[in-house]
Amino acid sequence: MTSDAARRVWSPSNAVPPPPPPKRPSAPPGPPGGPPPDAQPTGFASRLSLRTRVGALAALGVGLAVTLTALAAYLTVSSQLQSSVDENLLARARSAVSTTLGDPNQLATVPGAAIVATDVRIALLQANGTAIVARGTDTSPPMGDTEVEVALAESPQSVRTADLRGDRYRVVAVPAQPGFALVLAQSTEQTEEVLDRLRLVSFIAGGVGIVLATWAGLSIARAGLRPVRQLTQAAEHVAATGQLEPIEVTGSDEIARLAHAFNAMLAALSEARLRQSRLVADAGHELRTPLTSMRTNLDLLAQSEASGGLAAADRTQLIADTRAQAVELSTLVGDLVELSREDPPAASREQVDVADVVRDALSRVRRRAPGVVFSADLQSWIVPGDATQLGRAATNLLDNAAKFSPPHGTVTVTLHDGVLDVCDEGPGIADEDLPRVFDRFYRSSAARGLPGSGLGLAIVKAAAERHGGSVEAGRSPSGGARLTMRLPAASSAALD
């Protein structure tokens, strides 16, 4: 039988309760009606530079990855370490059952100091809650209902963490003799020290990783956004100086494509500026001739009035010449206004029969050129567009053919499937002049002595392109000029 000194009874009344959890200090309340204490000002991210935002996002992404990795590593190591400790305790407990420690009579005679030296606490718990421990030094482990269930054979074993006088223990219980359970407990201090070191290492590694990620994110953002900075500087340079200089482009990524598009825009702006300056220069040259002639005629008229006047016939001729110069000047100004428009003017988007437009132009040109024969073969061709623009283009083509036709010459006009051909029997167009006959103010050497401003065919080209068409110059079968204007039926997109 066991001695009374070695027999102790466990009950809930003499169990040591765990210390209460510490209270967390509550956050100070915010001012009445104001934002909460942790509220951040809105729009803060929008005030940061793009490079800073990219670097911050990279740091945040890597920081989250490092944090999740460290957390997963900590949980894995903690679980594996706890499992290893539990398996070791269960193995020691089962091994102790087969020794003198598993015999209540023998355990009561074992010195408690010898058991404490092994860094464990051991006891045999009866089904009625009575615990048998070693004599002398207190070696009783934490015990409760879980261990009683093992003694009653209601559970094959138990594993749990319990507190005993402020210390935490890992407690296991395995069946011993019938009606007994061997309870073995080991302090968790060493395990907690290992986990504390692991937490510290994870925290340091995570902090270093976030710092490196921030540095790498800012460096990558600085290198990746360098073309954007170049685009910004180029745009600011253009705005400040007006110099349309392209920027250097390297690579083939999306930013390089943006840089190519920016250079294309600069080239288009440069071309538009060049066309504008050329138009102004050419217009000034063309306007100088009629203005000089008009001023000369007016000076001559004024001088003649001061000296007694001109003869009636001379005066009439002088006034007619001045009126003709005024008409030429008005026509030239109208042509310049028409060609100076970069965008097509507001047009009546209606279905226009090009054959009717050409017939109206023929009736007008026949009255102005009675010495020329016009032969027309016109088929109906409906296009959505502006009848006024198309009529002016057809009139210019017919006027050009009549101007270069010999007396009683024939101008052949055909319209088939949207292709308007105007052929004359004149001297034709030289091969070197064919690519430029539709340019503004261009006049070949053979046409410089004839009336005109050099804008008529340019207006034809502009009208055709505004209706989605094209123009072409060549030679007619008779050796004269052949001017062609093509108008596709589906040309509504060109007018949008």
Quick one: 282 and 407 in the same domain? no
Q: Per residue of the chain (496 residues), give pLDDT as tens.
A: 444 434 444 443 333 344 444 444 444 454 444 444 444 445 565 677 777 777 778 778 877 888 888 888 888 888 888 888 889 889 888 888 888 787 777 777 777 666 666 678 888 888 888 888 877 667 788 888 888 888 888 889 999 989 888 888 899 999 988 888 999 898 888 888 888 888 888 888 878 877 887 788 778 777 777 777 877 887 888 888 877 878 777 777 777 788 888 888 888 888 878 877 766 776 676 667 677 778 887 888 787 777 766 777 877 887 888 887 787 677 777 767 766 665 454 445 688 999 999 999 999 889 888 889 999 999 999 998 888 889 888 988 998 898 888 888 999 999 999 999 999 998 888 888 888 888 876 666 555 555 555 677 888 888 888 888 999 999 888 889 999 999 998 544 444 4
Q: Are residues 138 and 190 in the same domain?
A: yes
Q: Is residue 203 part of a domain?
A: no
364 occurs within a structural domain: yes
User: Which DSSP helix (H) or strand (E) runs through 377?
Assistant: strand 373-378
Of the candidates 279, 310, 339, which is a domain's last residue?
339
Residue 266 zone, left/alpha/beta (φ > 0; ψ -120 to 50; rest): alpha
How many domains are there within the chain? 3
317 and 357 inside one domain: no
410-416 and 373-378 as β-strands: parallel, antiparallel, unpaired? parallel
Coarse DSSP helix, strand, coil percentages of the chain, rounded to the nearest 5 percent: 50, 15, 30
Q: Identify whether 236 is part of a domain.
A: no
Q: Which distant-in-sequence residues (6+ apart) come within 8 Å of 225 by Cβ? A: 50, 51, 54
Residue at 458: amino acid letter = A
CATH of the domain at 283: 1.10.287
Same domain, 462 and 314: no
Query: Do residues 309 and 395 share a domain?
Result: no
Residue type, 425: E
First to last CA, the chain: 111
Is there a domain that residue 411 lies in? yes
Among 320, 339, 358, give the residue marking a domain's end: 339
Asked if residue 239 belongs to a domain, the reply is no
CATH, residue 112: 3.30.450
Both 184 and 317 in one domain: the answer is: no
210 belongs to a structural domain: no
Question: Among residues 311, 339, 367, which one ends one of the domains?
Answer: 339
Question: What domain range includes position 76?
Answer: 4-16+45-198
Tell me: do 320 and 355 sit in the same domain: no
Measured CA to CA, the distance from residue 395 to residue 459 in angstroms comes to: 11
* pTM, to two decimals: 0.43
Asked whether residue 175 falls in the same domain as residue 84, the answer is: yes
Residue 413's domain is classified under what CATH number? 3.30.565.10
Same-domain pairing of 450 and 482 = yes
Contact 416, 487 (CB under 8 A): no
**Residue in this structure with the two tokens 């502009």, named with its chain if needed:** 462
Whether residues 154 and 8 fall in one domain: yes
Is residue 228 a part of any domain in this protein? no
Q: Are 175 and 166 in contact (CB under 8 A)?
A: no
In a domain, 158, yes or no: yes
Amino acid at 473: A
Q: Where are the alpha helices (DSSP H) in 410-489?
A: 456-466
Q: Are residues 169 and 295 in the same domain?
A: no
Give the distance, in angstroms, between the CA of residue 264 and the centroid of all CA atoms in the same chain. Answer: 19
Tell me: do 9 and 154 sit in the same domain. Answer: yes
Determine the Cα–Cα distance for residues 101 and 279; give it in Å rounded to an integer. Answer: 113
In this prediction, residue 56 carries a pLDDT of 78
- Give residues with Cβ within 8 angstroms of 390, minimum separation 6: 352, 354, 357, 383, 463, 467, 487
Do the bridges between strand 167-175 and strand 180-187 make them parallel or antiparallel, or are there none, so unpaired? antiparallel
3-state secondary structure 115-143: HHCCCCEEEEEECCCEEECCECCCCCCCC
